[in-house]
Chain A
Amino acid sequence: KAGVTQTPRYLIKTRGQQVTLSCSPISGHRSVSWYQQTPGQGLQFLFEYFSETQRNKGNFPGRFSGRQFSNSRSEMNVSTLELGDSALYLCASSLAGYTQETQYFGPGTRLLVL
């Protein structure tokens, strides 16, 4: 079974631009969660989607948004990029999205904002 895939793997943008990242979960998994990973803050939860609905959201500004499609693939969007948005963005999938259920992470998208 293929693992979680994320595209692109690397991205360079400039301040003020917007970016869309994509995540394909493991086949059969319906929950997709997104995380931001930085050296200073570690792994921080952005949001979680299940059956095309956002079920949970972390403490990030409204510039961070996401969506999920009927095939469970998910995208996240960051508008009006800031230098501090430079990070590794990880998505994780699980069968039903219960927090005490194993999450499987993708390799991440490394975003650099100049």
Chain B
Amino acid sequence: GESVGLHLPTLSVQEGDNSIINCAYSNSASDYFIWYKQESGKGPQFIIDIRSNMDKRQGQRVTVLLNKTVKHLSLQIAATQPGDSAVYFCAENSNRDDKIIFGKGTRLHILP
């Protein structure tokens, strides 16, 4: 499959452990944030989103935390599985802007 990013930061996690992927966003006016997962050979897949009026949102095995004070977003994956191996992107948008800005991504590597 395609190599999404040859020089992406990589997070290696033992199977079964929790993963925490971090993202610093750039625009203090951003009020909508999204996490995407991109597996080799596929396009990005929506995981979870959060609006700026929330600090935390939970999905199935995933939790997104938003800290607006330091412009930081994190994605927590519980009980990491081999199928979670992928590149994870955060993205931000402001209501004043028509475009979504994507981060460079973090590669999650699962250790057996």
Do they bind each other?
Answer: yes
Complex CA gap A58/B102 in Å reads: 13
Q: How large is the interface on A (under 10, 10 to 19, 20 to 34, 35 or more residues)?
A: 20 to 34
Partner of B95, one of A37, A43, A100: A100
A100 touching B32 by the CB < 8 A rule?
yes
Q: Are B44 and A105 in contact (CB under 8 A)?
A: yes
Q: Are A4 and B43 in contact (CB under 8 A)?
A: yes
A-B contacts counted at CB < 8 A amount to 57
- What are the interface flags for A1-28 relative to B under an 8 Å C-beta threshold, 1 for contact and 0 otherwise? 0001000000000000000000000000
**Bound: A58/B98 CA distance, A:** 10
Query: Residue of B at shortest CB range from A3?
Result: B43
Which partner residue on chain B sits nearest A44 by CB separation?
B102
* B12 at interface by CB-CB < 8 Å: no
Residues of A within 8 A of B (CB): 4, 37, 39, 42-45, 48, 55-56, 58, 88, 90, 92, 99-100, 102-108, 110
